[in-house]
Amino acid sequence: MRKKLLFLVAAILLLALAACGGGGESSEGNASNTSNETEGAENEAAPAADGGSITVATTSEPGNLNPMIWPTVSDTYVTHMIYDSLVIPDEELKMVGSLAKDWDVSEDGKTYTFYLEEGVTWHDGEPFTAEDVEFTFTALADPSYDMGFTWRVDPIVGADAYKNGEADSVEGIEVIDDHTIEFTTEEPFAPFLSGLFVGILPKHILEDVSPGEWDKHESNRNPIGTGPFKFVEWKTGQYVQVEKNEDYFQGAPNLDSIYVRFGDANSMLASFMSKEIDITEVPVAEVDSVATLDFSELTTQTVLSVFYVGFNALNEHFKDEKVRQAMAHAVDKESIVESVLGEFGTISDDVFPSEHWSHNPDLPQFEYDLDKANALLEEAGYEKNSNGVYEKDGNPLSFTLELPTGNKERETTATLLKQMWDEAGAQVDIQSQDFSTLTSTKLLPEADDGTQRAVTADDYDAYILGYSLEADPDEYRSYFGSTYMPPNGYNFVSYSNSKVDELMELQTKQIESDERQDTFWEIGHELASSQIWVPLYEQENPFVYSKRVTGFEPDFRGVTFGAKDWAVTE
């Protein structure tokens, strides 16, 4: 199948052109000099040696170490090193084998037969087999599972019957032998392979545990995987430590151990400056200061991501599309990018990343225009009160913007948004909390018994987050499909659009890439019109790392995705 993927190198070229066309000269000059110095340093660096330890920082503590439980970026810093998937995306988003060394697809496009690597063992020494694969994906169809990944098994024959208690197994998942497994879907399903990019779980550890109780099981804080690193310790509020898996089937890692430390961006950067940490993300405002350090190198992580504001469609104000559109017109994205990100950011008008084939270049535009914002509010029945705040039926346009702590750029963006919306006649408060608190109490709220429940209008008004595309744009179905509202998915904005539902379903059946692209462009047009997400910007993530580290090349797949090949020179 011909794919019209825009290679990630295009993103780097466009970023470079944008930096040359404007942006701060001092930042651009330092970045350029650092690049030249890095090249020379690599040529003259001491050879890497086996062994040693590296400490990498993240701004949020993981919430779970089971990759099937509402995974976050901070979780993946650890889980990408512990667990393997059947398949993984390469640098061009093409799926290649990991635990699956090869596979066949039937002529009708419905049956996938996977041939698994042999000699793979779990970290506790138990053999990995096709039974573990069957267990993992069957569990996602279990009636008690409510942690975000049901969509990956929905297309499989018999998944619904198993989910509804009408069958004892999923008919379309069949173990042929210890190293062969077969999946059969109801219809050809275009994103099926990409949906298998998720960590395989050990049957012998979890088979007697209800998937709905996985988050309470001891393995969630003491995980057993097949990956290149083994779990050692999770010290709450400080770090997670992993160590080399000497028996890893793709060859043992270079390093003896890796520590993942947590803390806010400023404290992690300070720890880097004192050489307690080897790798950390750098707030854009601090890039110039670290670029001159003689013991460090600067790089950027290319990510297929969009930072955005999400509105709760159950909210009395934001259930009206015109109000959301008005708020979009009141955002000066150019000013935000220029003041917060400089050369590391570009304006975004689409929920789909601009360098991915799913991005529609011809979308409705919501340029910064306070007159249009005011006109839309008045069309929606609002008028200004004596305090200069718009209100409708005595209800002022007052709301709270939620955001997770730890990301300097996001925090500054929230402050600017408040200023812009206040100027437009809204009354905005900012509320910050750590990421796990934001998700468990606001976006993916828990009932009194600890299970996921539906979002209500009282849970939150609006939030600011980033979304990264991992492998296939079908991932958005869980965020915008009307059947994927919590606890059944990530549609915590409670967006419901029958046309989007139909198009999202249609794209799964379109094997021809041109047809599928056209469908996603229609989806993008609908979402852009609704402004249920207000896209703000795309960002290249600056990272600084010690010159003693080799092999650190973060990309869209994750910061620690290539940790097996990291090494140190001392």
Q: DSSP per residue over 185-238, as a string?
A: BSS--TTTTGGG-SPPPPHHHHTTS-GGGGGGSGGGSS---SSSEEEEEEETTT
Residues 404, 435: contact at Cβ < 8 Å?
Answer: yes
**164, 190, 220 - which closes a domain:** 220
Domain shared by 280 and 383, yes or no: no
**Residues with pLDDT less than 50, the chain:** 1-44
Please tell me the distance from the alpha carbon of residue 333 to that of residue 346, in angstroms, as a whole number. Answer: 9
Round to whole Å and give the CA distance between 331 and 505. Answer: 32
- Of the candidates 220, 244, 261, which is a domain's last residue? 220
393 and 529 share one domain: yes
For residue 399, give every residue at least 6 positions away whose Cβ sits within 8 Å of its Cβ, in sequence order, or none: 315, 317, 318, 426, 427, 428, 429, 461, 462
Instruction: Count other C-beta atoms under 10 Å from residue 6's C-beta.
Output: 16
Phi-psi region of 531 (alpha: psi -120 to 50; beta: other; left: phi over 0): left
- Asked if the structure places residue 207 within a domain, the reply is yes
pLDDT in tens, 28-86: 223 333 333 333 334 445 566 689 999 999 988 998 999 999 888 889 999 999 999 99
Assign residue 523 the CATH number of its domain: 3.10.105.10
Do 121 and 251 belong together in one domain?
A: no
What is the separation of C-alpha 246 from the centre of its chain, rounded to a whole number of angstroms? 30
Domain holding 60: CATH number?
3.40.190.10
- Residue the block writes with tokens 């910007």: 537
Amino acid at 34: T
169, 173, 174, 180: CA torsion to nearest 10: -140
- Token reading at 253: 């890692």
- For 493, residues 6+ apart whose C-beta sits below 8 A from its C-beta are 310, 311, 312, 313, 479, 532, 533
Q: How far apart are CA 305 and CA 9, in angstroms?
A: 15
**Whether residue 180 sits in one domain with residue 100:** yes
Residues 249 and 264 placed together within one structural domain of the fold: yes
Please classify residue 160 by burial: count the beta carbons closer than 10 Å to its beta carbon, then call 0-12 exposed, 13-18 middle and 19+ buried. Answer: middle
Residue 76: inside a domain: no
> Smallest Cα–Cα separation from 245: which of 82, 56, 130, 80?
82
Domain tally, the chain: 3
* CATH number of the domain enclosing 139: 3.90.76.10
Would you state the pLDDT for residue 557? 87
Note whether 361 and 469 are same-domain residues. Answer: yes
Q: Please report which helix (H) or strand (E) contains residue 57, including its range.
A: strand 53-58
Q: Are 487 and 454 in contact (CB under 8 A)?
A: yes
Residues 268 and 362 in one domain: no
* 347-363 residues labelled b (16+ CB within 10 A) or e (exposed): ebbbbbbbbbbbbbeeb
With respect to residue 446, please indicate whether it lies within any of the assigned structural domains. Answer: yes
Asked whether residue 162 is assigned to any structural domain, the reply reads yes
Query: Which residue has tokens 């999923």?
Result: 170
CA distances from 506 to 96, 163, 479, 528 (A): 25, 23, 16, 19
Range of the domain at 98: 84-220
Distance CA 243, CA 83 (A): 13
pLDDT at 410: 92
* Per-residue DSSP letter, 338: I
Q: Interhelix angle for 370-379 vs 321-329, to 10°?
A: 170
Domain boundary at 200, 220, 240, which? 220
Between the CA atoms of 94, 96, 100 and 103, what dihedral angle is there, to the nearest 10 degrees? 70
Residues 335 and 271 in one domain: no
Residues 525, 422 share a domain: yes
**Strands in 100-169 per DSSP E:** 100-105, 111-116
Q: Tell me which residue of 30, 22, 547, 18 sits closest to 288, measured CA to CA.
A: 30
Q: Nearest to residue 494, comparing CAs of 234, 275, 243, 311?
A: 311
pLDDT at 1: 35
2, part of any domain: no
For residue 408, is it within any domain?
yes
Q: How far apart are the first and last CA of the chain?
A: 47
pLDDT of residue 73: 85
486/359 same-domain check: yes
Cα–Cα dist 518/515, whole Å: 5
**Same-domain check for residues 534 and 451:** yes
Question: Exposed, middle or buried: residue 560 (CB in 10 Å: 0-12, 13-18, 19+)?
Answer: buried
CA triple 411-453-199, angle to 5 deg: 75
Residue with tokens 């994103």: 191
Q: Do residue 290 and residue 310 come from a single domain?
A: no
CA distance linking residue 256 with residue 564, whole number of Å: 10
Is 73 part of a structural domain of the chain? no
- Per the document, the length of the chain is 570
CA distance 96 to 91: 10
CA dihedral of residues 490, 495, 500, 504 (deg, nearest 10): 10
Say which residues have a Cβ less than 8 Å from residue 371's Cβ, sequence separation at least 6.
none
Radius of gyration of the chain from its Cα atoms, rounded to whole angstroms: 24
Q: What is the pLDDT of residue 47?
A: 65
Q: Which residue has the tokens 């249609």?
A: 506
Q: Is residue 264 part of a domain?
A: yes
Burial of 108 (0-12, 13-18, 19+ CB in 10 A): exposed
The first and second tokens of residue 550, run together, are 């080799």
